[in-house]
Structure formats: structure tokens, C-alpha cells
């Protein structure tokens, strides 16, 4: 068994985590903290810290709150406010505080850890009291009245960081907690009445191992207290298995009074069993976080009581997995009345202990003889574990770690009853989940706190329909539903909230109050098509005026996260991915072009119900007269072919342009134009479309002159629009005379810069060489200066390419080229011709000649560098002179009749087609 288990564990670890498809549920609606649709009542006071325990009066009008050094009663009867009714200041004595601090405990202070009804009139409150727990019995109606202090050494927790479980039955306190500075674990009965004994745990090995107590509850039908906790598994073997955490349910009987000899003042009814929250063979959710009781609707069958527990997994800590399992009282009873196991100390293993006469796990054993009690003493672990109802998880999440839960059953409008879970996530959200026949559905999530809280608990009042959530920060009140948040029938029905239904008379989403009420609701299917037949979709179309090239954002806000939302054209086809962009918030973003001028609808679909959430029609902002917006219809075009000319009307705003017939166009295009039939005409259009952005360029000679003037004006008008700023820059550039263009082709700016740089370096080197008197100063100076001058002229010519400057560049380049050529020759000669004389004749000859050798190397290096620079200069000058010469030549041959106008026209066409 243990071997099999080990194999299972390792398989699970190897396979990693649970099948992620399990819990991909998302809340349908999400409300952030402070949302006006889900208002939270908040009680928050700077004096009240660490509100750790909550207790609601039976009439649900008063909420008692245990905090640090204080006990409060809050009036929660008003729906819109929480007010302080009464307060008891209850701090630990300075002496206790001192002792506590000396013992280096961090949570000294009086944290109220247990708050229960003692009887119908009095409250029982336990405070940690700086590790010297103290209990108070106080009248619920007046906290500050005289009080009865009790020592609660072995009954109440000493530390505020430990969870505990406490239940009061008949003015007797049953607690499971850790006490004292060392955290000794106890499960005890305190304040026993009359002659009854206070009871504790029997002293046997393996009874409890590092338990964390979660909760306890009184099951009156069985006369038992059930305790829920987690502990370290007692499977023996390697280290790994020793850290395996198991969830437990344990029992003690309220009639127990301890044995007479064996188990004196000890439980004779303590037994524990494993709670397994697991689906099939998948990984166990082994860490119980919280568990609550759901009593059956029919009080005559208490065995149908269910316990809903929320679990997380020890191995999936980072992935935040959690699950909810339900356990039935019947199954728990079956486990306790079955066979048991005993721990064999010698063999260090567990052996099976058959349930003799069905006595084990029974109440009333304290009267039995020592033989039976000795078996009872050692047999506290049941053979069988308690498995969840239906052997499956009720609900699981791969995204959330749930830490607390509350559960209720409610009746829908049709009288059908549904279970609702309220789950608090570690990140501070409350999830409301309805369990439907086909699976769970998360109706909504509400953000309660922004930061994760050290203490938290959740308390449900079904009579008032509110949840109270206590946290380190304060107390929150959340109504279980707000039907008014659903504005129309479809929303109301799609929510599948059993609390809400559509009232067709008042035309509002109303709270389901009585059974058989006449509300439209479909909790199981959410079929709005069926329930809301007269529902009219009222999203009206918004007309959005836009300019060409403007980027528009069409918002679409829908509330249901389960709806599938698409943007569609008016013909109902889906808006493609490109050139549109759909943002995460649902809005559609695109650039207005003639192709994107259309009508758009944002359509959501949920459970087969479709509705238009928003609709927009984009219309172009019309620029008066001169530039009417192009429609995305194909304009008529003129085709010229050998057979003759078919001329159709040319819309006024299409620019026509002369193409020289002799100028060769791309073969493919020419062919298209030459073929007269319709298919190739289409092809021609397509070609143009791809090259000119959908604006065919039309060829016609005689139009040019006429259009020229007006086009200039139009361009000027268009240029005023900011959208066309960039086009204008382009225009200016292409407006240059060919001469200048030719000149600019030679990159005068960069070449000029290179020249200036070379000149400066040469002059610097010259200065160095002057100092050592090795080169002729004049030579170098005459080289460096002209280079700088020539470079500057070239740069100037680039900036303003006038004829004079281009000519000057040519002249300077030629001069510098000659100089550079001379320099190249001179330095080559210098390099190859070293003076032969040796100045070192006497004294320290070797040292001197070494110095000379090094000096000569340095000078050679400088000469080499100068040689390279001169050669570079030569190349630059040649390049510059060639381009400036060609530019001058072009300037002379070009008649410049309408040369610049042609380029202007060309630019105009580009400009229009780019828009």
C-alpha cells in the first residue's frame, strides 16, 4: 500500500500538475473595489487593529468583532452603514507584556482568538493576553458591563498567528488549538459543567503531528463535535513522505467523561480520519483551508448534512491551485464506524485493527472496561478515508488560491434549489459560484481588499442576504447580490444568478423573494432568447466624422467576460485582423482610408444570445470644394492603346500626368495597357492599385498645362493640413532642379565633412612636425588650409545649391585634387628617402642610436599617415569635382521649361495617392 502510494506520488510529481482544463472558469462579471454596482459597507477604525474574529447575533442585527486589545459590537441593521454600538477595551497587563517580550514573541498583546455565544444572553471571548490566555463571559447586550474573568490556560490559544477551532455546547467549550510558549497542541473540553471532567488528549505516539486546526462544529444528531485540521502525514519511510500533509476530520463525543482507570480525564471518543479531496487518480488537494457546514433543507434527515471544504495543493503552491469538495455526514459516519489502524511501535508501522463489536468510534465508551479502553486508546485512525460526494471535485481553479468560503442554498424563481459558494481568494476577491447541473458557474467576482490580509474570515447571514468579511484592515459587508446592476432582461437572464430574475411588469431585474414568483429566469441555461422575447436591442449607430489618415478608436464596453465579442461590418462579416487592431479592452483601432470608411458593429454573443453593444458609421470630414474625399469606388480611367483611345470622364480631383511614350515603363505594365479587353483593364487597375495605393495614374498629354496651376493651389491648401506636413517636405525635396539633384547625388555634405576633417588632421600633424623640424612647414600648411576651405565650400553648396557655389566647389575640388596628388607624391618620396647620416658618433653610442631609431620610426609613422590622408583627399576631391561638373553640365543643357513643374506635378500625384 505504502509502496503503491509512493509510486503514485512520484508519478504525480513527474507528470507535474493537474490537468489544467479542469479549472478554466472565469467570473462572468468583475467588480473592482469601490464599484458603484457592488457597494461595500466598510467598518474601519484606526484604533481597531487585526479584527480576527466575527460573530453575528441570531437576529443578524449586531456583529461582534474581536480585534487586538478590543472587543466591539457593530450595528449592521442599516443597509447603508455600519456603526459602532459598544466597545470593550481589553489590553494585556504591562507585566504580561514584559514577560512576553522577554520570551521574544512577536505577537504580544491581547488578540481575541475565540468569540462565541456562551448561552443565549452571554458571550464567551478568549484573548491571548500576551501568552497568558484569559477568557471573559460578558452580556452580549452590554460589553462594558461587569464581567466574569476566567483563566483559560489549556483552553485558549496563546498565539495570534495560530488558527484554532472552538465550539461551545451547553456552556462547555470544546477547543482545538496550541497553547503555551511552546505551542503544545490540545483538543480539550473546558469549563465542564457540574461533576463532568475537563478532558484532554490521551498521551500516545502519532496522535497529532504538527496540526493546524481549521474549524469545528457541533453535530447534534450524533452528539459529536467534528474537528477539521491538517497535519503531517504519518506514512513512514523517507523524508519526502514525512512532509506529506493530510487533511483530517476528527471527532469527540459531547457525552464523553473520560475513563475511570485507563484514559482518566482523557477522551475515550477521539478518532480521526483522512479527508481526501481528489478527482479520480489526479493529484490530491491535500491542504484544507476552510470548511463549512451546510445543513439539509429537510431537518428530519440530518445525515444529509454536507461539509464544503476548500483545499489547496501542497505541490502546486506556485500555480495557485485550489478546489472545493463536499463531504457528507453519512460518509464521515461510515469512516468512524469502520475498521481502524493501530501504530506498532516495535515494527514502526501501522497495523489493521478490526472494529470489535462496532465499538470503536462510538460515543458512550467511557463506561467500558479497561480492555476495551486500551484498544480505544491506541486505535484512533480509521482504516478508510472520507471521500468527497460523487468521488469528484465540486469546483476547482487553476488561477485562484481560495482561502475561505461560505455556502448557502437558495431557491430560484421556479422553486428549484441551488447551492451558492462564496469563495475568498488570497488576492482579495470574493467569487460567487452557483453549482449548476452541468457544472459550476462563477456569477461574479468582487474585489474586497487590495492587499493580501494576514487574518480574514467570512460570515454569511442568509436571513439578511449579506456576507461579512473580516480582515486585518476592517470589516466589510457585501450583499449577496445586486440585481439592479443588470440593466435589461438579457443581462438579467444571462447572469444565471438564482437571486435575480426579470420582472416584465416593472421592467427591472428584481430579487427573487418568494417561491413561484413570476420572474423571467433561467439559472441552468441562461437562455435569453427564450426568456426575453420582447427584448429590443437598442444600441444606436453613432456617426463618427473622421479625416483621412486619422487613427480612430471605436470603443466597445461589454460587461460579461464570458461573452464572445466580435467587430463586424454592416454585411455581418467579421472585421479582419489587418489593417484593423482589436485592443484587449475590446476597442477597434484603425487608420481612416477610403477602404476603411464603413459601418462597424460590436457584437457580443453569450449562450447563443447575440446583441449589438455599439455601432459606428465612419464618414469623412469633407474639405470644401477643391478636395472632395475620394470614395473607394474605382474611378473611371482612360486607357491608351494602339487601336485608339477610349476616353471616359475623369473625375476632377484625379490628377493627370504626362508619361513620355518613348520612356520605357516596366514591361508588365506596358503590356497591360496595350491590351484592350476588359480583363487586362482590370489587371491594369490592379497594378496601379498596388503601386499607387489605389489611385490610378491617368495618362493624358493636353491636360497637363490646364491642371498645373490649379494643382499648385490645391497642394498649397492641402499643405495647410497637419496630416500633409510630411508630404510637403517630400514635395520640397522633389521640387529641386535636376542640376541640384545631380549635385546632391554626389553627397557633398559628407564629402565636405571628410575634407574638413582631413584638413584639420593634416594641420595638427603639421604642428607636431614643425616642433621636431622634420618636414617643411610651408608644404604642410599649403596642404591643410585648402582642404578645409574646399570642404566648407562643399558643405555650403549642399545647404544652398546655387550655381555659384557649385562652380566654386568644382574649382576648389580641382585645386585640392592637384594639391593632394602633389602631397601624395611628396610624402611617398619622403618615406622612401631617409637621411643616411648617423649623428651618434661618440659617447654612449648604442643608447643614442636606439633613440634615433625610435625617433625615425615615429617620423615615418607620421609621414605614412599624411600619405594616406592625402590619398583619401585626392579621392574625395575627384568625386566632388565629377558630380559638380556633371551638375553644371546638366544645368546648361536643361532648358528648364517646365522641368521643375513636372517634378512638382509628380510630387502632387504622390502626395494625393499617399493620402
Ligand X SMILES: *[C@@H]1O[C@H](CO)[C@@H](O)[C@H](O)[C@H]1NC(C)=O
Q: Residue numbers of the site for ligand X (CB under 6 A)?
A: 36-39, 49-50, 107, 118-122, 137, 160-161, 454-455, 472, 479, 482, 484-485, 569, 571, 573, 598
Q: Cα–Cα distance between 332 and 513 in angstroms, integer?
A: 35
- Other Cβ atoms less than 10 A from the Cβ of 914: the count is 15
Residue with cell 462544529: 217
Rounded to a whole number, what is the largest CA-CA distance in the chain?
Answer: 131
53 versus 884: smaller Cβ distance to ligand X: 53
In the complex, what is the shortest distance from the CB of residue 632 to ligand X, in angstroms, rounded to a whole number?
A: 9
Kindly tell me which of 395 and 449 has the beta carbon lying closer to ligand X.
449
In sequence order, which residues have a C-beta less than 8 Å from that of residue 273 and are 6 or more positions away? 248, 249, 250, 332, 335, 336, 381, 382, 384, 385, 386
Query: How far is Cα 323 from Cα 115, in angstroms, rounded to an integer?
Result: 28
Q: At what angle do helices 777-799 and 845-893 cross, to 10 degrees?
A: 30
- ω before 227 within 30° of 0 (cis)? no
CB of 525 to ligand X, least distance (A): 25
Closer residue to ligand X, CB minimum distance, 187 or 480:
480
Distance CA 401, CA 320 (A): 5
Residues 6+ apart with CB under 8 A from 627: 653, 714, 717, 718
Residue number, 581 or 772, with CB nearest to ligand X: 581
224 vs 431, beta carbon nearer ligand X? 431
Looking at the Cβ atoms of 123 and 788, the one nearer to ligand X is 123
Min CB(900)–ligand X separation in Å: 41
DSSP E strands, 209-297 = 212-219, 224-232, 245-253, 271-275, 287-294
Q: Distance between CA 427 and CA 33 in Å, rounded?
A: 12
CB of 675 to ligand X, least distance (A): 28
CB-based contact 190:198 (threshold 8 Å): yes
Q: Which is nearer to ligand X, 110 or 604 (CB)?
A: 110
> Whose CA is closest to 71, among 16, 114, 106?
114
Residue closer to ligand X by CB (options 118, 476) is 118
Neighbour tally for 759: CB within 10 Å:
23
C-beta of residue 400 within 8 angstroms of C-beta of residue 292: no
38/272 with CB nearer ligand X: 38
Q: Which of 401, 239, 283 is nearest to 14 (CA)?
A: 283
Q: Is 655 exposed, middle or buried (0-12, 13-18, 19+ CB in 10 A)?
A: buried
Rounded least distance, CB 207 to ligand X, Å: 28
Q: Please identify, using beta-carbon distances, which residue of 111 and 270 lies nearer to ligand X.
A: 111
CB of 45 to ligand X, least distance (A): 12
Cα separation, 398 vs 88, in Å, equals 43
Shortest Å distance, C-beta 215 to ligand X? 18
500 DSSP β-pair partners: 511
Q: Which is nearer to ligand X, 301 or 454 (CB)?
A: 454
Strand, coil or helix: what is 529? Answer: helix
Cell of 352: 489493521
Dist. CA 696–CA 694, nearest whole Å:
6
HEC sequence for 631-693: CCCCCCCCEEECCEEECCCCCCCCCEECCCCCCCCCHHHHHHHHCCCHHHHHHHHHHHHHHHC
- Cell reading at 877: 576631391
* Nearest alpha-carbon partner for 90 in 122, 120, 45, 48: 48
Q: Which is nearer to ligand X, 111 or 315 (CB)?
A: 111
Closest CB 597 distance from ligand X, rounded Å: 9
Q: How far is the CB of 138 from ligand X (least distance, A)?
A: 9
DSSP string, 809-844: HHHHHHHHHHHHHHHHHHHHHHHH---------SSS
- Least separation in angstroms between residue 412's CB and ligand X is 20
Q: Which is nearer to ligand X, 39 or 294 (CB)?
A: 39
Least distance in angstroms from the C-beta of 68 to ligand X: 6
> Closest distance between ligand X and the C-beta of residue 671, in Å?
29
**How far is the C-alpha of 283 from the C-alpha of 66, rounded, in Å?**
38
CB of 712 to ligand X, least distance (A): 36
- Least Å distance between CB 36 and ligand X? 5
Of the pair 95, 121, the CB lying nearest ligand X is at: 121
One-letter-per-residue 3-state SS of 568-600: EECCCCECCCCCCEECCCCCEEEECCCCCCCEE
| Alpha helix ranges (H) inside 290-328 | none
Spatial distance between the Cα atoms of 89 and 748, rounded to a whole number of angstroms = 88
Q: Cβ of residue 738: shortest distance to ligand X, in angstroms?
A: 43
CB of 164 to ligand X, least distance (A): 13
Q: State the nearest-atom distance from the C-beta of 410 to ligand X, in Å.
A: 18
| Cα 467 to Cα 40: distance, rounded to the nearest angstrom | 10
Termini Cα distance of the chain: 77
Amino acid at each position: 500500500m505504502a509502496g503503491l502510494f509512493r509510486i503514485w506520488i512520484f508519478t504525480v510529481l513527474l507528470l507535474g500538475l493537474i490537468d489544467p482544463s479542469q479549472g478554466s472558469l472565469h467570473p462572468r462579471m468583475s467588480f473592482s473595489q469601490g464599484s458603484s454596482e457592488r457597494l461595500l459597507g466598510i467598518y474601519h477604525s484606526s484604533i481597531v487593529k487585526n479584527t480576527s474574529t466575527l460573530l453575528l447575533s441570531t437576529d443578524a442585527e449586531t456583529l461582534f468583532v474581536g480585534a487586538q486589545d478590543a472587543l466591539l459590537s457593530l450595528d449592521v441593521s442599516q443597509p447603508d452603514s455600519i456603526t459602532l454600538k459598544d466597545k470593550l477595551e481589553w489590553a494585556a497587563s504591562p507585566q504580561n507584556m514584559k514577560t512576553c517580550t522577554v520570551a521574544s514573541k512577536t505577537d504580544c498583546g491581547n488578540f481575541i482568538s475565540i468569540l462565541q455565544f456562551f448561552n443565549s444572553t452571554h458571550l464567551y471571548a478568549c484573548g491571548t493576553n500576551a501568552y497568558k490566555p484569559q477568557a471573559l463571559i460578558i452580556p452580549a447586550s452590554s460589553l462594558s458591563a461587569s464581567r466574569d474573568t476566567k483563566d483559560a490556560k489549556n483552553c485558549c490559544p496563546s498565539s495570534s498567528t495560530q488558527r484554532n477551532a472552538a465550539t461551545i455546547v451547553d456552556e462547555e467549550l470544546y477547543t482545538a488549538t496550541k497553547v503555551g510558549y511552546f505551542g503544545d497542541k490540545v483538543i480539550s473540553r473546558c469549563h465542564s459543567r457540574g461533576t463532568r471532567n475537563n478532558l484532554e488528549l490521551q498521551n500516545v505516539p502519532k496522535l497529532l503531528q504538527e496540526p493546524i486546526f481549521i474549524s469545528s462544529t457541533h453535530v447534534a444528531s450524533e452528539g459529536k463535535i467534528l474537528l477539521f485540521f491538517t497535519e503531517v502525514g504519518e506514512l513512514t519511510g523517507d523524508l519526502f513522505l514525512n512532509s506529506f500533509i493530510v487533511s483530517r476530520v476528527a471527532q469527540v463525543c459531547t457525552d464523553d467523561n473520560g475513563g475511570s482507570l485507563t484514559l482518566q480525564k482523557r477522551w475515550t471518543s477521539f478518532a480521526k480520519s483522512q479527508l481526501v479531496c481528489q478527482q479520480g487518480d489526479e493529484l490530491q488537494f491535500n491542504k484544507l483551508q476552510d470548511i463549512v457546514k451546510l445543513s439539509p433543507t429537510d431537518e428530519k434527515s440530518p445525515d444529509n448534512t454536507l461539509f464544503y471544504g476548500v483545499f489547496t495543493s501542497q505541490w502546486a503552491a506556485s500555480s495557485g491551485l485550489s478546489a472545493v469538495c463536499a463531504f457528507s455526514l453519512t460518509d464521515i459516519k461510515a469512516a468512524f464506524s469502520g475498521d481502524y489502524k493501530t501504530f506498532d511501535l516495535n515494527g514502526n508501522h501501522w497495523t489493521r485493527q478490526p472494529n470489535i463489536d462496532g465499538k470503536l468510534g462510538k460515543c458512550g465508551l467511557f463506561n467500558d472496561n479497561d480492555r476495551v479502553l486500551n484498544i480505544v486508546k491506541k486505535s484512533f485512525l480509521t482504516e478508510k478515508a472520507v471521500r468527497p460526494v460523487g468521488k469528484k471535485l465540486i469546483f476547482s481553479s487553476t488561477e485562484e488560491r481560495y482561502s475561505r468560503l461560505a455556502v448557502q442554498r437558495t431557491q430560484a424563481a421556479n422553486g428549484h434549489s441551488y447551492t451558492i459558494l462564496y469563495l475568498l481568494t488570497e488576492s482579495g476577491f470574493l467569487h460567487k459560484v452557483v453549482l449548476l447541473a452541468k457544472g459550476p458557474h462563477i456569477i461574479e467576482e468582487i474585489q474586497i481588499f487590495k492587499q493580501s490580509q494576514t487574518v480574514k474570515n467570512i460570515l454569511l447571514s442568509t436571513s439578511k442576504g449579506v456576507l461579512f468579511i473580516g480582515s486585518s484592515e476592517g470589516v466589510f459587508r457585501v450583499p449577496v447580490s445586486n440585481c439592479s446592476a443588470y440593466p435589461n432582461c438579457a443581462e438579467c437572464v444571462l447572469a444565471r444568478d438564482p437571486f435575480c430574475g426579470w420582472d416584465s411588469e416593472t421592467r427591472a431585474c428584481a430579487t427573487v423573494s418568494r417561491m413561484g414568483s413570476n420572474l423571467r429566469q433561467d439559472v441552468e441555461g441562461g437562455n435569453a432568447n427564450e426568456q426575453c422575447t420582447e427584448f429590443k436591442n437598442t444600441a444606436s449607430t453613432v456617426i463618427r466624422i473622421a479625416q483621412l489618415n486619422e487613427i480612430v478608436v471605436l470603443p466597445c464596453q461589454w460587461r460579461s467576460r464570458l461573452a464572445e465579442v466580435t467587430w463586424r461590418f454592416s454585411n455581418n462579416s467579421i472585421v479582419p485582423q489587418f489593417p484593423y487592431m482589436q485592443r484587449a479592452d475590446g476597442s477597434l483601432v484603425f487608420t481612416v482610408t477610403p477602404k476603411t470608411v464603413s459601418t462597424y458593429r460590436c457584437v457580443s454573443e453569450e449562450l447563443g444570445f447575440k446583441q449589438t453593444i455599439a455601432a459606428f458609421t465612419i464618414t469623412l470630414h469633407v474639405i470644401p470644394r477643391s478636395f472632395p474625399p475620394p470614395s473607394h469606388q474605382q474611378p473611371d480611367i482612360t486607357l491608351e492603346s494602339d487601336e485608339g483611345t477610349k476616353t471616359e470622364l475623369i473625375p476632377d480631383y484625379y490628377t493627370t500626368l504626362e508619361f513620355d511614350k518613348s520612356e520605357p515603363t516596366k514591361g508588365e505594365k506596358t503590356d497591360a495597357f496595350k491590351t484592350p479587353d476588359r480583363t487586362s483593364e482590370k489587371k491594369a487597375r490592379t497594378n496601379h492599385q498596388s503601386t499607387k495605393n489605389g489611385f490610378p495614374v491617368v495618362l493624358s498629354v493636353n491636360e497637363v498645362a490646364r491642371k498645373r496651376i490649379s494643382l499648385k493651389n490645391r497642394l498649397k491648401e492641402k499643405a495647410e493640413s497637419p496630416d500633409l506636413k510630411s508630404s510637403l517636405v517630400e514635395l520640397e525635396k522633389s521640387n529641386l532642379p535636376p542640376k541640384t539633384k545631380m549635385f546632391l547625388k554626389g553627397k557633398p555634405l559628407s564629402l565636405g565633412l571628410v575634407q574638413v576633417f582631413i584638413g584639420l588632421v593634416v594641420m595638427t600633424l603639421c604642428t607636431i612636425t614643425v616642433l621636431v623640424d622634420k618636414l617643411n612647414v610651408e608644404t604642410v600648411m599649403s596642404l591643410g588650409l585648402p582642404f578645409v576651405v574646399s570642404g566648407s565650400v562643399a558643405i555650403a553648396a549642399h545647404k544652398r545649391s546655387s550655381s555659384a557655389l557649385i562652380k566654386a566647389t568644382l574649382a576648389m575640388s580641382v585645386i585640392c585634387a592637384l594639391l593632394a596628388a602633389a602631397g601624395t607624391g611628396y610624402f611617398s618620396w619622403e618615406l622612401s628617402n631617409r637621411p643616411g647620416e648617423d649623428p651618434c658618433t661618440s659617447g654612449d653610442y648604442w643608447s643614442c642610436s636606439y633613440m634615433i631609431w625610435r625617433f625615425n620610426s615615429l617620423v615615418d609613422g607620421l609621414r605614412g599617415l599624411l600619405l594616406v590622408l592625402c590619398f583619401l583627399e585626392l579621392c574625395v576631391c575627384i568625386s566632388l569635382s565629377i558630380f559638380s561638373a556633371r551638375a553644371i553640365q546638366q544645368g546648361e543643357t536643361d532648358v528648364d521649361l517646365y522641368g521643375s513643374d513636372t517634378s512638382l506635378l509628380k510630387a502632387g500625384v504622390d502626395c494625393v495617392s499617399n493620402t
